[in-house]
Chain A
Amino acid sequence: MSLLEIEGLSLEIHGEPILKDVSMQVEPGRVLGVIGESGSGKSMTAFGVLQLLPNGSQCRGCISLAGQDILTASEKDLCAMRGRDIGMVFQEPMTALNPLQTIGAQVAETILVHENVPKSEAFERAADALRRAELPPERFPLSRYPHELSGGQRQRVVIAMAIALRPKLLIADEPTTALDVTTQAQILDLLKRLVAGEGMGLMLISHDLAVVADLADDLVIMRSGEVVESGPAHGLFRNLQHPYSRALLEASGHVPERSGAAQDKALLKVRNVIREYQSHSHGWWGRTTHVRAVDNVSFEIRKGESLGLVGESGCGKSTLTRAILGLEEIQGGEILLGGTPVVSHHRVNRDVRRRMQVVFQDPYGSFNPRWRVDRLITEPFHLMDSPPFGAEREAAVAEALESVGLSAADSRKFIHEFSGGQRQRIAIARALIIKPDLIILDEAVSALDVSVRAQVLDLLAGLADRFGLTYLFISHDLSVVRSITERVLVMKSGQIVEEGPTDRVFDKPQHAYTKQLVAAAPVLPADVA
């Protein structure tokens, strides 16, 4: 008998159907990968298992955990079950922990809620859970606070909370989406070892086939609340039937087509750039310390080229972006765009600024929620001496929107009326509208689902060919960088450790750090259809 059995589950929220006839099983000691885009109902299925659904939800069908029917269980039984029989790991380790409590207290809390044990024993078992999550208390005492840990370490604490009572089933909802590649690989490894070592069933939810491919024994592929395909991972990958699954697979390793070639002329020159931060410890009278975020970095981007910049969070790549954009002054070296310095005499050169634009990562935070689209995307007109107005402005807005695959009618809408992928298109339209030479893409597709990501990458490739754009593509995601760039820089602790043609760097990495990055990147099995 399966550990978790979901049979014909349908879910309505306020009469609106969310899930339709969803069935899946999780076996003890095995990993079930649930794959789908955002809005496909994969997270709702998980919340259905925990019965933590929003108000107004109506479930039909059958969910049973080790023979116990969950849909008919009382709230009291459900409370006893959550945390004890089912553990849950969330996506965002930064917000899944209470910043005011020590990690020991938070792990012990799960134990104290379910078992009537003395506090000292709960803390002992919390230490054990943290050790199983490979966060040994000798190095990470229980008295640490979440802010003293990195993202990956926090995710380990969340996992320790989930496995503290040795649940039969562990649900992990996009557990690594917010993490860097190397950390992601470590967390996935940990989950794999936990499942093998403790005989738990794991339900691993992700939008990325490649993340799940390596880990899952069984797969379920979902779309708009329905299961489109399911079966053992091994067979399924080789023989995907449903066009949607095939599209997902294609998107995961998508390579957009490029035709334009880079010219020999250097567009952006970065020479020996140093960016230091001053920080005062302990308020006004504390000691001043210097942190060097960008350390003697030099590179060039040729006109029409797509250059990738890869590195983990905190390696200085965002600081470098801000320096190139002239948002922060550098302490040494120089940055030249087309031969003109970005900043001269502590002032940003308007002529230079006009020639570069940026697209940020977060499709939700990149827009003023109170402005309509036309006003949002015409903001860079501020850089022009005589910005177009009236009919001319409308034409420019329409052209920009149409070139990113939206319609001119969208210009009167507010930003919340668009999906994440559409918002990223609007961000690209905003960058395009003053026809810059260089567009800096700062993790521009990292927050998107694989299939939407593939579309946006295609769009970027098409625009580059059409308008002769040059891209600086900053990302922690190697597969994305690999698909769209010709040359790549690898950055670590503020320094460029390796640079070269993208294929060469990824196929034959020279530097130890690059090797580590390449090894950590999730890949689809080589022999899939």
Chain B
Amino acid sequence: MKGLLHNRSTLPGALLTVVFAGAALISLFWVPYDTTVLNIADRMKLPSLAHPFGTDQFGRDILSMLMVGARTSIAVALVAVGIGMLAGVPLGLAAAARKGSLPDEIIMRTNDLVFAFPSLLIAVMITAVFGASALNAIIAIGIFNIPVFARLTRGAALTLWSREYVMAARVAGKGAARISLEHILPNVTNLLIVQGTIQFSLGILAEAGLSYVGLGAQPPTASWGRMLADSQTMISLAPHLAIFPGMAILLTVLGLNLLGDGLRDLLDPKLRRART
């Protein structure tokens, strides 16, 4: 843990991540105001002591909305990245281990196929067919993470397969699956972590985008993207309606990227030594 804080960017990254994850967790048990109750009398109030971030056009407390929205955004992005990694990484490892074979071709060409569609379009299609909900948004974003991880893993693994230590493992009689797990996977993790944080932030942005066009989380579930979408007609009247969710998205993405950099350094034995 001490090593983690050695990287200069890690601490702010970790703090930001803790703040947003903490807000999401707290919102499970307690929020300052109920976000499903409308209070038209208090609508569009500027930030005050009672409402630190002000209220929206229905008089709901923006701080409470942000806390609940953090839960939606983080859950959607986390599960989507999880789907991408759990499916994409093994596919990439398998494709690299059997380079040039039929399975490799099938995996990679299917990847190309998925890549060929604009992701938002497919997300719109999925939600159009199965209905707009946070769950369908997760699935749609998750599916688009699979080829990203598969391709990254395969590319990195291919260069590792030509390394002499992999050759030495083959001389020791180890099979492709075992080599992939013991030698290839640990040496691509730093790439996966960096890509994971990028995909995580892209996931948050994608969820915000889907919710913005009304295809993500449905009201009354609060979501940062939805808050932004709802605020756009009132941007000149009450700019704080857009500023706070916008800042929340920006800071979360920034925090995650900084944290990812720190994690990558921590997992590299060479860099770990350089710092201590």
Residues of A within 8 A of B (CB): 325, 327, 348, 350, 353-354, 356-358, 360-362, 365-370, 376, 379-383, 414, 416-417, 427, 430
Contact = CB atoms under 8 A, between A and B. Distances in A.
A327 B164 contact: no
A369 B171 contact: no
B168 A366 contact: yes
A370 B172 contact: no
B168 A370 contact: no
A370 B187 contact: yes
A383 B173 contact: yes
Given A365-B165, A368-B183, A382 B174 contact: yes
B163 interface: yes
Nearest to B187: A370
B173 A360 contact: no
A203 B169 CA distance: 42
B171 A368 contact: no
Contact of A365 (B164, B171, B172, B269): B164
Given A327-B167, A354-B173, A366-B168, 5 more contacts: A358-B168, A360-B167, A360-B168, A369-B270, A382-B173
Interface in B182-212: 182-183, 186-187
Q: Pick from B167, B183, B270, B273 the residue with the most CB of A within 10 Å.
A: B167
Contacts of A370: 186-187, 269
B170 interface: yes
A380 B269 contact: no
Contact of A368 (B170, B186, B270, B273): B186
A45 B31 CA distance: 67
Contacts of B164: 360-362, 365-366
Interface of B: 163-165, 167-174, 182-183, 186-187, 269-270, 273
Contacts of A362: 164
A368 B165 CA distance: 6
Contacts of A379: 168-169, 172, 174
A360 B187 CA distance: 20
B263 to A, nearest CB: 15
A376 B269 CA distance: 15
A350 B163 CA distance: 23
Contacts of B187: 368-370
A418 to B, nearest CB: 12
Contacts of A365: 163-165
A381 to B, nearest CB: 8
Contacts of B174: 379, 382
A445 to B, nearest CB: 15
B269 A414 contact: yes
A368 B160 CA distance: 10
A353 B171 contact: yes
Contacts of A417: 273
B171 A366 contact: no
A365 B173 CA distance: 19
Q: Pick from B167, B171, B269 the residue with the most CB of A within 10 Å.
A: B171
A25 B182 CA distance: 53
Contacts of B182: 368
B269 A350 contact: no
B64 to A, nearest CB: 45
Contact of A357 (B163, B165, B171, B183): B171
A370 B182 CA distance: 10
Given A360-B164, A365-B163, A416 B173 contact: no
A291 to B, nearest CB: 16
Task: Across the A-B interface, give the 4 residue pairs with the lowest CB-CB distance, nearest first.
Answer: A360-B164, A366-B164, A380-B172, A383-B173
Contacts of A357: 171
B182 to A, nearest CB: 8
B173 A348 contact: yes
Contacts of B163: 365-366
Nearest to A358: B171
Given A348-B173, A369-B187, A370-B186, A416 B168 contact: no
A414 B273 CA distance: 10
Nearest to A363: B164
A366 to B, nearest CB: 4
Contacts of A381: 172
A325 B164 CA distance: 14
Given A366-B165, A367-B165, A369-B187, A382 B269 contact: no
Given A369-B187, A370-B187, A416 B171 contact: no
Contacts of A414: 269-270, 273
A370 B187 CA distance: 7
Contacts of A361: 164
Given A383-B172, A383-B173, A369 B269 contact: yes
A369 B270 CA distance: 8
A416 B165 contact: no
Contacts of B183: 368
B49 to A, nearest CB: 51
B3 to A, nearest CB: 14
A383 B168 CA distance: 12
A327 B171 contact: yes
A350 B186 CA distance: 27
B100 to A, nearest CB: 9
Contact of A325 (B171, B186, B269): B171
Contacts of A353: 171, 173
